[in-house]
Structure 1
Amino acid sequence: MKIMVSACLLGQNCKYNGGNNYSKKIAQYTKGHEVIPVCPEVAGGLTTPRIPCEIVNGVVTNKNGESKDKEFRTGAQLSLQKALDEKVDMVILQSRSPSCGVKQIYDGSFTGKLIDGHGVFAELLIQNGIKVLDVEDAKKYKTVEAIRRVHP
């Protein structure tokens, strides 16, 4: 089974603040499967660290008001192509990210308020019929096989 995972969840320091969101749980239960790390933001040419971004009126914008939409959408497209080329079975993504948010994203006010919605990469995956799972949902299961039974 091939699983694409947000690189920050695997310990890669690619978050906007230069850190990561390492998840021991994700690392444990993806063990024994082919894991393909991905960071659409880095793939789109953004540096680490970088100014935080949110989706503001449909445009990915950083906290200074500068559009980073092109970089986010380029990275999302490149990452989607990688998922398609690799024929991944599922993608586990970091919660709330303007790239990877599966269920919720920040509202664009940079105040920490969440709204229902998808990040640009998550949206592309969904549009292309690729199974996506929020890391918080994935953590509820003991094995990848258990996820597949509940989320076919």
Structure 2
Amino acid sequence: MKTKILVSACLMGHKVRYNGSEKAQISETLQRWQRENRLVTHCPELAAGLSIPRLSAEIVAGSGKDVMAGHASILESDGTDVTGHYQLAAWLALRAALASDCSAALLTDGSPTCGSELIYDGSFTGQKRAGMGVAAALLREHGIQVFSDNQLMELIAWVKERENDSV
């Protein structure tokens, strides 16, 4: 059975990032996987009703897991608390992954939603720290392997190993 992968829409060239840009990572492998209908392209923030463009947002005083547990917040650069919108975004990403039987996700690092290795530190100074965004944390909590956009080679190796083991 072919592995299904949830992938951040901005990595597939869609201009859905907070500033209206994309972060395309369309490799030959991703193009092939898309042709094979393995990819589920999804933007959690757009699905949750956030606009394009929108103010930058960062997790304050915790990580994505803390936000989902109600112990940390996500604020926009003007101080507006948008925690609820981002919690919804995480749940919608999980729903999309489960509905499509995804066993992995390829997400945009740095995002308060999709960051899986790094997130911004909450100071709005461009500083990053180790941590996960809300969707990455929730997906991992539910057994979905999460890879950052910097880990495409690791994802490819993981899929190869998984599919060779299932033959």
Q: Could you tell me which residue of structure 1 aligns to residue 31 of structure 2?
A: 28
Structure 2 residue matching 1:125: 3-state secondary structure: helix
Normalised by the length of structure 2, the TM-score is: 0.82
Tell me which structure has the larger Cα radius of gyration: 2
Q: 1 or 2, which has the higher helix percentage?
A: 2
List runs of 5+ in structure 2 lacking aligned partners: 62-71
User: Structure 2: which amino acid aligns with 1:34?
Assistant: R
Kindly indicate whether residue 132 of structure 2 is the aligned counterpart of residue 118 of structure 1.
Answer: yes
The CA RMSD measured in Å over matched residues stands at 1.9
Q: Could you report, residue by residue, the CA deviation over 1:36-58 in whole angstroms, capped at 9, with x for unpaired residues?
A: 11111111110011000000122
Equivalent position to 2:98, from 84, 92, 97: 84
Q: Could you report, residue by residue, the CA deviation over 1:64-101 in whole angstroms, capped at 9, with x for unpaired residues?
A: 00011111111110110111121102100001110000
| Paired residue total | 149
How far off is 1:149 after superposition?
Answer: 4.9
Quote the Cα distance in structure 1 between the aligned partners of 2:37 and 2:151: 19
Q: Could you tell me which residue of structure 1 aligns to residue 65 of structure 2?
A: none
Alignment check: 8 A CA contact 1:95 1:104 kept: yes
Alignment check: 8 A CA contact 2:13 2:26 kept: no
Q: Could you report, residue by residue, the CA deviation over 1:95-128 in whole angstroms, capped at 9, with x for unpaired residues?
A: 1110000011000001111111100000000111
Normalised by the length of structure 1, the TM-score is: 0.90
- The correspondence of residues 13-52 of structure 1 with structure 2, limited to 5 A, is 13-25=15-27, 27-28=30-31, 30-31=33-34, 32-52=36-56
Q: Could you tell me which residue of structure 1 aligns to residue 86 of structure 2?
A: 72
The change in CA–CA distance for 1:150 and 1:109 in structure 2 (over 3 A counts) is farther
